[in-house]
Protein backbone atom coordinates (compact mmCIF):
# COMPACT_ATOMS: atom_id res chain seq x y z
CA UNK A 1 0.00 0.00 0.00
CA UNK A 2 1.58 3.28 -1.00
CA UNK A 3 -1.00 6.03 -0.67
CA UNK A 4 -0.93 8.79 1.90
CA UNK A 5 -4.39 7.89 3.20
CA UNK A 6 -3.11 4.78 4.97
CA UNK A 7 -4.65 4.89 8.45
CA UNK A 8 -1.41 4.74 10.41
CA UNK A 9 0.40 7.38 8.35
CA UNK A 10 1.69 10.11 10.60
CA UNK A 11 1.24 8.48 13.98
CA UNK A 12 3.40 10.17 16.55
CA UNK A 13 1.74 8.86 19.70
CA UNK A 14 4.27 6.39 20.96
CA UNK A 15 5.41 3.02 19.73
CA UNK A 16 3.63 1.94 16.60
CA UNK A 17 3.60 -1.16 14.43
CA UNK A 18 6.61 -1.52 12.14
CA UNK A 19 4.63 -0.48 9.07
CA UNK A 20 3.91 2.95 10.57
CA UNK A 21 7.59 3.86 10.54
CA UNK A 22 7.17 5.09 7.02
CA UNK A 23 6.21 8.47 5.66
CA UNK A 24 4.58 8.96 2.26
CA UNK A 25 4.87 11.98 0.03
CA UNK A 26 2.00 13.59 -1.90
CA UNK A 27 2.55 12.16 -5.37
CA UNK A 28 -0.09 14.28 -7.08
CA UNK A 29 1.41 17.51 -5.84
CA UNK A 30 4.94 16.37 -6.74
CA UNK A 31 3.78 15.63 -10.28
CA UNK A 32 1.77 18.81 -10.74
CA UNK A 33 4.71 20.90 -9.49
CA UNK A 34 7.12 19.11 -11.84
CA UNK A 35 4.77 19.88 -14.70
CA UNK A 36 4.34 23.52 -13.61
CA UNK A 37 8.09 24.09 -13.31
CA UNK A 38 8.60 22.59 -16.75
CA UNK A 39 6.68 25.49 -18.28
CA UNK A 40 9.28 28.00 -17.07
CA UNK A 41 11.68 27.95 -19.99
CA UNK A 42 9.33 25.64 -21.88
CA UNK A 43 9.70 25.61 -25.67
CA UNK A 44 8.42 23.60 -28.63
CA UNK A 45 11.26 21.35 -29.72
CA UNK A 46 11.32 21.07 -33.50
CA UNK A 47 13.49 17.95 -33.54
CA UNK A 48 11.17 15.84 -31.37
CA UNK A 49 7.86 17.64 -31.73
CA UNK A 50 7.72 17.65 -27.93
CA UNK A 51 7.66 20.38 -25.33
CA UNK A 52 11.15 20.82 -23.91
CA UNK A 53 12.77 22.99 -21.28
CA UNK A 54 15.53 25.54 -21.86
CA UNK A 55 16.47 27.04 -18.51
CA UNK A 56 20.16 27.79 -18.50
CA UNK A 57 21.72 28.87 -15.23
CA UNK A 58 21.25 32.48 -14.14
CA UNK A 59 19.05 33.42 -17.11
CA UNK A 60 15.68 35.13 -16.70
CA UNK A 61 14.05 31.69 -16.92
CA UNK A 62 16.25 30.38 -14.13
CA UNK A 63 15.39 33.45 -12.05
CA UNK A 64 11.67 32.84 -12.53
CA UNK A 65 12.03 29.15 -11.66
CA UNK A 66 14.07 30.00 -8.59
CA UNK A 67 11.32 32.38 -7.50
CA UNK A 68 8.67 29.69 -7.78
CA UNK A 69 10.74 27.05 -6.01
CA UNK A 70 11.60 29.46 -3.19
CA UNK A 71 7.88 30.24 -2.88
CA UNK A 72 7.19 26.50 -2.54
CA UNK A 73 9.98 26.20 0.02
CA UNK A 74 8.49 29.02 2.07
CA UNK A 75 5.00 27.53 1.78
CA UNK A 76 6.52 24.34 3.20
CA UNK A 77 7.68 26.38 6.19
CA UNK A 78 11.36 26.40 5.28
CA UNK A 79 13.64 29.26 6.30
CA UNK A 80 15.38 30.16 3.03
CA UNK A 81 18.89 31.50 2.60
CA UNK A 82 21.10 32.15 -0.43
CA UNK A 83 24.88 31.94 -0.57
CA UNK A 84 27.43 33.90 -2.58
CA UNK A 85 27.38 31.50 -5.52
CA UNK A 86 23.58 31.52 -5.64
CA UNK A 87 23.02 28.14 -4.00
CA UNK A 88 19.69 28.19 -2.15
CA UNK A 89 18.95 26.31 1.08
CA UNK A 90 15.71 25.94 3.02
CA UNK A 91 15.81 24.71 6.62
CA UNK A 92 13.31 22.80 8.74
CA UNK A 93 14.62 23.04 12.27
CA UNK A 94 15.22 19.97 14.38
CA UNK A 95 14.94 19.62 18.13
CA UNK A 96 18.73 19.71 18.36
CA UNK A 97 19.60 22.78 16.24
CA UNK A 98 23.29 22.50 17.03
CA UNK A 99 23.62 19.12 15.38
CA UNK A 100 24.62 19.06 11.70
CA UNK A 101 21.55 18.89 9.48
CA UNK A 102 20.58 16.26 6.95
CA UNK A 103 20.66 17.80 3.47
CA UNK A 104 18.80 16.78 0.30
CA UNK A 105 18.48 18.51 -3.03
CA UNK A 106 19.79 18.85 -6.59
CA UNK A 107 19.52 21.57 -9.29
CA UNK A 108 16.86 23.38 -11.31
CA UNK A 109 18.92 24.66 -14.25
CA UNK A 110 18.66 22.61 -17.44
CA UNK A 111 20.58 22.05 -20.65
CA UNK A 112 19.29 23.96 -23.68
CA UNK A 113 17.24 20.94 -24.81
CA UNK A 114 16.16 19.58 -21.44
CA UNK A 115 13.22 17.74 -19.95
CA UNK A 116 11.07 18.12 -16.86
CA UNK A 117 12.91 15.81 -14.45
CA UNK A 118 16.69 16.25 -14.53
CA UNK A 119 17.54 17.89 -11.19
CA UNK A 120 14.05 19.16 -10.51
CA UNK A 121 12.89 15.78 -9.20
CA UNK A 122 15.47 15.97 -6.41
CA UNK A 123 14.55 19.53 -5.46
CA UNK A 124 10.76 19.33 -5.67
CA UNK A 125 10.93 15.84 -4.17
CA UNK A 126 12.89 17.21 -1.22
CA UNK A 127 10.25 19.88 -0.64
CA UNK A 128 7.62 17.12 -0.68
CA UNK A 129 9.61 15.23 1.95
CA UNK A 130 9.40 18.26 4.23
CA UNK A 131 5.69 18.61 3.57
CA UNK A 132 5.18 14.92 4.30
CA UNK A 133 7.02 15.24 7.60
CA UNK A 134 4.80 18.19 8.48
CA UNK A 135 1.62 16.42 7.39
CA UNK A 136 2.57 13.43 9.51
CA UNK A 137 3.39 15.65 12.50
CA UNK A 138 6.88 14.22 12.65
CA UNK A 139 9.64 16.01 14.49
CA UNK A 140 13.25 15.11 13.89
CA UNK A 141 16.27 15.53 16.09
CA UNK A 142 18.43 16.92 13.31
CA UNK A 143 17.36 19.79 11.10
CA UNK A 144 16.43 18.83 7.56
CA UNK A 145 17.51 21.09 4.70
CA UNK A 146 16.54 21.32 1.04
CA UNK A 147 19.13 22.77 -1.34
CA UNK A 148 19.50 23.60 -5.01
CA UNK A 149 22.84 24.38 -6.56
CA UNK A 150 23.82 26.90 -9.24
CA UNK A 151 24.84 25.88 -12.80
CA UNK A 152 24.90 22.11 -12.33
CA UNK A 153 24.72 21.60 -16.08
CA UNK A 154 27.73 23.71 -16.98
CA UNK A 155 26.12 24.56 -20.30
CA UNK A 156 26.17 28.31 -19.91
CA UNK A 157 29.46 28.98 -18.10
CA UNK A 158 31.41 25.87 -19.15
CA UNK A 159 31.96 24.18 -15.78
CA UNK A 160 29.47 21.65 -14.50
CA UNK A 161 28.47 21.20 -10.84
CA UNK A 162 29.66 24.77 -10.34
CA UNK A 163 27.65 25.78 -7.26
CA UNK A 164 28.18 22.52 -5.42
CA UNK A 165 31.89 22.48 -6.32
CA UNK A 166 32.24 25.95 -4.83
CA UNK A 167 30.42 25.00 -1.64
CA UNK A 168 32.58 21.89 -1.39
CA UNK A 169 35.69 24.09 -1.65
CA UNK A 170 36.99 22.50 -4.87
CA UNK A 171 36.46 25.59 -7.01
CA UNK A 172 37.34 28.95 -5.41
CA UNK A 173 34.50 31.50 -5.33
CA UNK A 174 36.53 34.12 -7.22
CA UNK A 175 37.27 31.69 -10.03
CA UNK A 176 33.58 30.74 -10.30
CA UNK A 177 32.45 34.38 -10.21
CA UNK A 178 34.81 35.25 -13.06
CA UNK A 179 33.61 32.54 -15.45
CA UNK A 180 31.92 33.96 -18.54
CA UNK A 181 29.20 32.78 -20.91
CA UNK A 182 29.50 32.94 -24.71
CA UNK A 183 28.41 36.58 -24.67
CA UNK A 184 30.99 37.55 -22.02
CA UNK A 185 28.61 37.91 -19.05
CA UNK A 186 30.20 36.80 -15.78
CA UNK A 187 28.68 34.51 -13.18
CA UNK A 188 29.03 37.28 -10.58
CA UNK A 189 27.22 39.86 -12.70
CA UNK A 190 24.46 37.44 -13.58
CA UNK A 191 23.99 36.46 -9.93
CA UNK A 192 23.56 40.13 -9.06
CA UNK A 193 21.31 40.77 -12.05
CA UNK A 194 18.83 38.03 -11.13
CA UNK A 195 19.02 38.80 -7.39
CA UNK A 196 20.76 35.61 -6.26
CA UNK A 197 24.16 36.89 -5.14
CA UNK A 198 23.30 35.97 -1.59
CA UNK A 199 24.94 37.03 1.64
CA UNK A 200 25.66 33.56 3.04
CA UNK A 201 29.20 32.17 2.95
CA UNK A 202 29.59 29.72 0.08
CA UNK A 203 31.23 27.16 2.37
CA UNK A 204 28.17 26.07 4.28
CA UNK A 205 28.02 24.31 7.66
CA UNK A 206 28.96 20.68 7.07
CA UNK A 207 25.85 18.47 6.90
CA UNK A 208 25.52 15.18 8.75
CA UNK A 209 24.69 13.53 5.41
CA UNK A 210 23.41 14.37 1.92
CA UNK A 211 21.03 12.42 -0.30
CA UNK A 212 20.14 13.43 -3.85
CA UNK A 213 17.21 11.86 -5.64
CA UNK A 214 17.67 12.08 -9.42
CA UNK A 215 16.47 10.42 -12.58
CA UNK A 216 18.93 7.79 -13.76
CA UNK A 217 19.38 9.17 -17.30
CA UNK A 218 20.42 5.73 -18.53
CA UNK A 219 19.09 2.21 -19.14
CA UNK A 220 20.35 0.21 -16.13
CA UNK A 221 17.17 0.41 -14.01
CA UNK A 222 14.86 -0.14 -16.98
CA UNK A 223 16.89 -3.20 -18.01
CA UNK A 224 16.56 -4.56 -14.48
CA UNK A 225 12.83 -3.81 -14.40
CA UNK A 226 13.00 -1.68 -11.25
CA UNK A 227 12.06 1.93 -10.46
CA UNK A 228 14.78 2.51 -7.89
CA UNK A 229 18.57 2.58 -8.01
CA UNK A 230 21.03 3.09 -5.21
CA UNK A 231 24.01 4.93 -6.58
CA UNK A 232 27.39 3.62 -5.49
CA UNK A 233 29.36 6.46 -7.05
CA UNK A 234 29.96 8.65 -10.08
CA UNK A 235 32.44 8.01 -12.87
CA UNK A 236 35.27 10.39 -13.77
CA UNK A 237 34.37 13.29 -16.07
CA UNK A 238 36.75 15.25 -18.28
CA UNK A 239 35.65 18.30 -20.30
CA UNK A 240 38.12 20.00 -22.61
CA UNK A 241 37.89 22.57 -25.36
CA UNK A 242 40.18 22.00 -28.35
CA UNK A 243 40.96 24.78 -30.79
CA UNK A 244 42.56 23.79 -34.09
CA UNK A 245 44.09 26.56 -36.18
CA UNK A 246 44.97 26.05 -39.83
CA UNK A 247 44.65 28.49 -42.70
CA UNK A 248 41.66 29.72 -44.69
CA UNK A 249 41.95 29.29 -48.47
CA UNK A 250 39.86 29.19 -51.63
CA UNK A 251 37.87 25.96 -51.91
CA UNK A 252 38.13 25.76 -55.68
CA UNK A 253 41.71 26.76 -56.35
CA UNK A 254 43.75 25.52 -53.41
CA UNK A 255 45.36 22.15 -54.18
CA UNK A 256 44.37 19.44 -51.69
CA UNK A 257 47.95 18.88 -50.56
CA UNK A 258 48.45 22.61 -49.94
CA UNK A 259 45.64 22.94 -47.42
CA UNK A 260 45.73 23.40 -43.65
CA UNK A 261 42.14 22.36 -43.12
CA UNK A 262 41.10 22.74 -39.47
CA UNK A 263 37.75 21.12 -40.24
CA UNK A 264 39.40 18.00 -41.56
CA UNK A 265 41.60 17.76 -38.45
CA UNK A 266 38.50 18.13 -36.25
CA UNK A 267 36.72 15.38 -38.15
CA UNK A 268 39.65 13.03 -37.57
CA UNK A 269 39.52 13.80 -33.85
CA UNK A 270 35.79 12.97 -33.70
CA UNK A 271 36.35 9.65 -35.44
CA UNK A 272 39.33 8.77 -33.24
CA UNK A 273 37.30 9.39 -30.08
CA UNK A 274 34.69 6.94 -31.27
CA UNK A 275 37.40 4.42 -32.14
CA UNK A 276 38.90 4.80 -28.67
CA UNK A 277 35.53 4.04 -27.07
CA UNK A 278 34.98 0.97 -29.19
CA UNK A 279 38.51 -0.38 -28.89
CA UNK A 280 38.27 -1.40 -25.23
CA UNK A 281 41.78 0.01 -24.69
CA UNK A 282 40.38 2.55 -22.27
CA UNK A 283 37.89 0.34 -20.46
CA UNK A 284 34.35 1.67 -20.47
CA UNK A 285 35.32 5.06 -21.92
CA UNK A 286 32.54 7.22 -23.31
CA UNK A 287 33.60 10.14 -25.47
CA UNK A 288 31.51 12.83 -27.12
CA UNK A 289 32.14 15.87 -29.28
CA UNK A 290 28.91 17.72 -28.60
CA UNK A 291 29.92 21.09 -29.95
CA UNK A 292 31.94 21.74 -33.09
CA UNK A 293 32.16 25.08 -34.85
CA UNK A 294 34.11 26.03 -37.93
CA UNK A 295 35.44 29.40 -39.02
CA UNK A 296 34.94 31.27 -41.26
CA UNK A 297 32.05 28.87 -41.99
CA UNK A 298 31.53 29.59 -45.66
CA UNK A 299 30.74 27.11 -48.42
CA UNK A 300 33.70 28.01 -50.57
CA UNK A 301 36.38 28.57 -47.93
CA UNK A 302 38.66 25.94 -46.35
CA UNK A 303 38.07 26.39 -42.62
CA UNK A 304 40.92 28.05 -40.75
CA UNK A 305 39.64 27.27 -37.28
CA UNK A 306 37.70 24.48 -35.60
CA UNK A 307 36.64 24.63 -31.97
CA UNK A 308 35.30 21.47 -30.41
CA UNK A 309 34.37 20.29 -26.95
CA UNK A 310 35.53 16.86 -25.82
CA UNK A 311 33.50 15.16 -23.07
CA UNK A 312 35.06 11.94 -21.75
CA UNK A 313 33.67 9.72 -18.99
CA UNK A 314 35.30 6.71 -17.41
CA UNK A 315 34.62 4.65 -14.27
CA UNK A 316 38.40 4.17 -13.92
CA UNK A 317 40.65 7.17 -13.18
CA UNK A 318 43.80 5.51 -14.55
CA UNK A 319 42.10 4.65 -17.82
CA UNK A 320 40.73 8.20 -18.01
CA UNK A 321 44.27 9.59 -17.72
CA UNK A 322 45.44 7.17 -20.40
CA UNK A 323 42.60 8.22 -22.71
CA UNK A 324 43.36 11.91 -22.26
CA UNK A 325 47.05 11.29 -23.00
CA UNK A 326 46.30 9.17 -26.05
CA UNK A 327 43.98 11.83 -27.46
CA UNK A 328 46.53 14.60 -26.84
CA UNK A 329 49.18 12.56 -28.72
CA UNK A 330 46.74 11.81 -31.53
CA UNK A 331 45.84 15.49 -31.91
CA UNK A 332 49.53 16.42 -32.02
CA UNK A 333 50.09 13.92 -34.85
CA UNK A 334 47.03 15.11 -36.78
CA UNK A 335 48.22 18.70 -36.32
CA UNK A 336 51.63 17.91 -37.76
CA UNK A 337 50.13 16.04 -40.69
CA UNK A 338 47.77 18.88 -41.66
CA UNK A 339 49.86 21.87 -40.59
CA UNK A 340 47.30 22.75 -37.95
CA UNK A 341 48.14 23.92 -34.41
CA UNK A 342 46.20 22.65 -31.42
CA UNK A 343 45.35 24.48 -28.19
CA UNK A 344 43.73 22.61 -25.32
CA UNK A 345 41.71 24.28 -22.60
CA UNK A 346 40.54 22.44 -19.49
CA UNK A 347 36.86 23.13 -18.80
CA UNK A 348 36.18 20.66 -15.99
CA UNK A 349 37.67 17.50 -14.50
CA UNK A 350 36.45 15.29 -11.72
CA UNK A 351 37.79 11.92 -10.60
CA UNK A 352 35.74 8.86 -9.76
CA UNK A 353 33.69 9.56 -6.62
CA UNK A 354 32.59 6.58 -4.51
CA UNK A 355 29.54 7.23 -2.34
CA UNK A 356 29.29 6.46 1.36
CA UNK A 357 28.31 2.85 2.00
CA UNK A 358 26.54 3.74 5.25
CA UNK A 359 24.20 6.15 3.46
CA UNK A 360 23.70 3.58 0.70
CA UNK A 361 22.68 1.08 3.38
CA UNK A 362 20.19 3.56 4.85
CA UNK A 363 18.64 4.02 1.40
CA UNK A 364 18.57 0.26 0.81
CA UNK A 365 16.83 -0.31 4.14
CA UNK A 366 14.32 2.42 3.26
CA UNK A 367 13.57 0.80 -0.11
CA UNK A 368 13.21 -2.59 1.58
CA UNK A 369 10.78 -1.22 4.17
CA UNK A 370 8.69 0.33 1.40
CA UNK A 371 8.82 -2.86 -0.65
CA UNK A 372 10.54 -1.27 -3.67
CA UNK A 373 13.04 -3.49 -5.44
CA UNK A 374 16.25 -1.74 -6.46
CA UNK A 375 19.58 -2.28 -8.12
CA UNK A 376 22.93 -0.69 -7.32
CA UNK A 377 24.48 1.37 -10.09
CA UNK A 378 27.38 3.69 -10.86
CA UNK A 379 26.19 7.02 -12.25
CA UNK A 380 27.15 7.80 -15.81
CA UNK A 381 26.10 11.44 -15.41
CA UNK A 382 27.63 14.06 -13.17
CA UNK A 383 25.70 15.22 -10.11
CA UNK A 384 25.96 17.77 -7.32
CA UNK A 385 26.19 14.80 -4.95
CA UNK A 386 29.69 14.02 -6.22
CA UNK A 387 30.85 17.42 -4.96
CA UNK A 388 28.95 17.35 -1.67
CA UNK A 389 30.44 13.88 -1.08
CA UNK A 390 33.74 15.62 -0.32
CA UNK A 391 32.15 17.30 2.69
CA UNK A 392 29.87 14.68 4.26
CA UNK A 393 28.59 11.10 3.85
CA UNK A 394 26.60 11.12 0.63
CA UNK A 395 24.67 8.83 -1.70
CA UNK A 396 21.90 9.05 -4.27
CA UNK A 397 18.53 7.52 -5.10
CA UNK A 398 18.00 6.94 -8.82
CA UNK A 399 14.58 6.88 -10.46
CA UNK A 400 14.08 4.98 -13.70
CA UNK A 401 13.29 6.79 -16.93
CA UNK A 402 11.30 5.65 -19.95
CA UNK A 403 12.86 5.11 -23.39
CA UNK A 404 15.93 3.52 -21.76
CA UNK A 405 16.31 6.55 -19.53
CA UNK A 406 17.00 8.98 -22.35
CA UNK A 407 17.74 12.46 -20.98
CA UNK A 408 19.07 15.90 -21.97
CA UNK A 409 16.33 15.87 -24.60
CA UNK A 410 12.60 16.63 -24.33
CA UNK A 411 12.01 12.87 -24.63
CA UNK A 412 13.16 12.53 -21.02
CA UNK A 413 10.27 11.05 -19.04
CA UNK A 414 9.82 9.21 -15.76
CA UNK A 415 6.45 7.78 -14.79
CA UNK A 416 4.60 9.49 -11.94
CA UNK A 417 4.66 6.33 -9.84
CA UNK A 418 8.38 5.87 -10.40
CA UNK A 419 8.97 9.47 -9.27
CA UNK A 420 6.70 8.91 -6.27
CA UNK A 421 8.46 5.69 -5.31
CA UNK A 422 11.87 7.35 -5.52
CA UNK A 423 10.87 10.31 -3.39
CA UNK A 424 9.19 8.02 -0.86
CA UNK A 425 12.51 6.21 -0.53
CA UNK A 426 14.24 9.58 -0.14
CA UNK A 427 11.78 10.55 2.60
CA UNK A 428 12.22 7.31 4.45
CA UNK A 429 16.01 7.50 4.30
CA UNK A 430 16.06 11.15 5.37
CA UNK A 431 13.82 10.31 8.28
CA UNK A 432 16.27 7.65 9.40
CA UNK A 433 19.25 9.98 9.12
CA UNK A 434 17.51 12.89 10.84
CA UNK A 435 16.25 10.59 13.61
CA UNK A 436 12.52 10.65 13.98
CA UNK A 437 11.29 11.61 17.45
C1 LIG B 1 25.34 16.44 -16.17
O2 LIG B 1 24.19 16.48 -16.55
C3 LIG B 1 26.32 15.70 -16.94
O4 LIG B 1 26.75 16.22 -17.99
O5 LIG B 1 26.64 14.57 -16.57
MN1 LIG C 1 21.03 16.58 -13.23
MN1 LIG D 1 21.68 17.19 -16.69
Ligand 1 atom with the smallest distance to the CA of 408 is 2
From the CB of 111, is ligand 1 less than 6 Å away?
Answer: no
Q: How far apart are the CA of 409 and the centre of ligand 3, in A?
A: 10
Pairing of strands 209-215, 394-399: parallel
From the CB of 245, is ligand 1 less than 6 Å away?
Answer: no
180 bridge partner residues: 186
Average pLDDT, the chain: 95
Nearest to 359 by CA among 309, 396, 322, 401: 396
Distances (CA, A) of 94 to 99, 138, 139, 145: 9, 10, 7, 10
**What pLDDT sits at residue 4?**
33
From the CB of 311, is ligand 1 less than 6 Å away?
Answer: no
What are the pLDDT digits (tens) for 290-325?
A: 999 999 999 999 999 999 999 999 999 999 999 999
Burial degree of 362 (CB within 10 A; 0-12, 13-18, 19+):
buried
DSSP code of 206? P
What are the pLDDT digits (tens) for 33-86?
A: 999 999 999 999 999 999 999 999 999 999 999 999 999 999 999 999 999 999
DSSP code of 205? P
From the CB of 160, is ligand 1 less than 6 Å away?
Answer: yes
**What pLDDT sits at residue 21?**
59
Q: How far apart are the CA of 204 and the centre of ligand 3, in A?
A: 24
From the CB of 151, is ligand 1 less than 6 Å away?
Answer: no
From the CB of 153, is ligand 1 less than 6 Å away?
Answer: yes
The pick from 113, 157, 383, 405 for probing ligand 1's pocket by mutation, whose C-beta has the most ligand atoms within 8 angstroms, reads 383
The pick from 117, 154, 235, 350 for probing ligand 1's pocket by mutation, whose C-beta has the most ligand atoms within 8 angstroms, reads 154
Ligand 1 atom with the smallest distance to the CA of 118 is 2
Q: How far apart are the CA of 121 and the centre of ligand 2, in A?
A: 9
Task: Extract the residue ranges of the chain whose pLDDT is less than 50.
Answer: 1-20
Query: Contact 89/131 with Cβ under 8 angstroms?
Result: no
Pairing of strands 144-148, 102-106: parallel
Alpha helices in 106-194 (DSSP H): 120-135, 162-167, 173-178, 187-194
What are the pLDDT digits (tens) for 205-228?
A: 999 999 999 999 999 999 999 999
From the CB of 61, is ligand 1 less than 6 Å away?
Answer: no
Amino acid sequence: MTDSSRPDNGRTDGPAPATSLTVRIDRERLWSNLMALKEIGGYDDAATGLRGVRRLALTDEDAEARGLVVEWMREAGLAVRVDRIGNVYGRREGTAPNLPCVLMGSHIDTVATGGAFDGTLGVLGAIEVVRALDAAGIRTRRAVEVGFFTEEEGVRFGTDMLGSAVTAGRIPLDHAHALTDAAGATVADELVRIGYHGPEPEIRPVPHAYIECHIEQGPILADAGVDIGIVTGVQAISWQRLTLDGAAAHAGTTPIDARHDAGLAAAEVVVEIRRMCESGEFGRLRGTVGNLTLDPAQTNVVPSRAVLTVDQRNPDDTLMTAAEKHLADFVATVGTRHGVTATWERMAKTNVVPFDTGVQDVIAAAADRLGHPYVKAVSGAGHDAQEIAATCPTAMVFVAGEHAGISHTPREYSRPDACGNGVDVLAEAILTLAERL
